[in-house]
């Protein structure tokens, strides 16, 4: 049972990127799918962090070694002369249901929302799901955020399928004004999840407070938090959507599910 046919991971050889590669390897090995390791390079001396083809090849070779060590049996190496975001999106578009995995360097900085670093751009541009890696290690616990909406159920289903493939325990998480209201939301969400995954088993978790703040604070309880991408574009993004706020402020790994394609 898998939502993804391939994992696409980006790396520039940095420590945070290697952490992303390690998590990508664990995910791909658990799903039993291949990985494409992508490194983009630019030769212009006017470009910050300019590199060359040789550097890119060394970087993807290093990713290959790290991915193989995580149990991945098939690794494709791609070196692209150009923009890293375009390289990742183009590579992912070549394989249906790809999961992009990247580090989060700069994502928690307010300036990244204006300047648009790589993870921030992917959060708003990717037509598929993106896993943002903030901490290495195995994924043993997954929080599935829901407000009971149809789009959140899409995210919950994708997240649960990944949790099941990795053997992780899953919690269904909502933010409500009262336990009664939260229980109603979770009951509806669990029924919808089980309609998609009949044998799904989840732990209920009800939080209180402002959804964006409550979810961001709760992220420390899980190795991975799963949310839908509703509000990641348009006026909702400008005004500060829950998804956008959590993406920038989460303290753990985050799977951002693009629910608009379903």
DSSP notation for 156-206: HHHHHHHHHHHT-EEEEEEE-SSHHHHHHHHHHHHHHHHHHSTT---EEEE
Assign domain 141-261 one CATH number from 3.40.50.620, 3.40.50.720, 3.90.1300.10, 3.40.1190.20. 3.40.50.620
Which of the residue ranges 29-33, 50-54, 105-109, 228-232 would you say has the lowest mean pLDDT? 105-109
> Distance between the two ends of the chain, CA-based, in angstroms?
18
Distance, CA of 161 to CA of 196 (rounded, Å): 10
| Domain ranges within the chain, ordered by starting residue | 6-133, 141-261
Rounded (10°) CA dihedral 140, 242, 122, 134: -40
On the question of pLDDT at 115 being above 60, the answer is no
**Residue 200: closest CA among 255, 237, 160:** 160
Task: Tell me the pLDDT tens digit for each residue of 142-169.
Answer: 999 999 999 999 999 999 999 999 999 9
CA distances (Å), origin 171, targets 149, 203, 252: 17, 4, 15
> How does pLDDT run across 56-65, given as a tens digit for each residue?
999 999 999 9
- Highest CATH level, class, for 6-133: alpha beta
Give the global pTM.
Answer: 0.91
Contact in structure between 34 and 24 (CB atoms under 8 Å): no
Asked if 6-133 and 141-261 have one fold, the answer is: yes
Q: How do residues 195-247 score in pLDDT, each as one tens digit?
A: 999 999 999 999 998 988 899 888 889 999 999 988 665 433 433 478 888 88
- The answer to whether the beta carbons of residues 110 and 101 sit under 8 Å apart is no
Angle between helices 53-69 and 15-31 (to 10 degrees): 50
Contact 33, 7 (CB under 8 A): yes
> Which residues, other chains included, contact 164 with Cβ-Cβ below 8 Å and sequence gap of 6+?
1, 170, 197, 200
């Amino acid at each position: 049972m898998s939502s993804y046919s391939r994992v696409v991971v980006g790396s520039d050889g940095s420590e945070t990127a290697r952490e992303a590669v390690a998590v990508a390897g664990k995910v791909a090995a658990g799903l039993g799918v291949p990985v494409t390791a992508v490194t983009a390079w630019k030769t212009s001396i006017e470009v910050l962090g300019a590199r060359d083809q040789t550097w890119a090849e060394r970087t993807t070779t290093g990713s290959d070694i790290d991915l193989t060590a995580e149990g991945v049996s098939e690794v494709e190496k791609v070196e692209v002369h150009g923009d890293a975001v375009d390289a990742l999106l183009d590579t992912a578009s070549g394989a249906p249901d790809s999961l992009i995995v990247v580090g989060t360097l700069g994502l928690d900085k307010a300036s990244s929302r204006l300047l648009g670093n790589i993870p921030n751009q992917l959060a708003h541009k990717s037509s598929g799901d993106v896993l943002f890696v903030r901490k290495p290690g195995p994924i043993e616990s997954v929080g599935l955020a829901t407000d009971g909406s149809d789009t959140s159920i899409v995210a919950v289903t994708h997240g649960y399928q990944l949790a099941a493939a990795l053997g992780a325990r899953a919690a269904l998480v909502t933010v409500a004004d009262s336990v009664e209201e939260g229980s109603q939301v979770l009951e509806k969400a669990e029924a919808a999840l089980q309609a998609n995954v009949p044998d799904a088993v989840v732990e209920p978790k009800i939080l209180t407070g402002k959804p964006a703040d409550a979810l961001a604070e709760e992220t420390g309880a899980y190795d991975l938090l799963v949310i839908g991408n509703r509000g990641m574009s348009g006026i909702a993004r400008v005004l500060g959507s829950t998804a956008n706020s959590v993406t920038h402020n989460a303290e753990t790994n985050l799977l951002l599910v693009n629910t608009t394609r379903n």
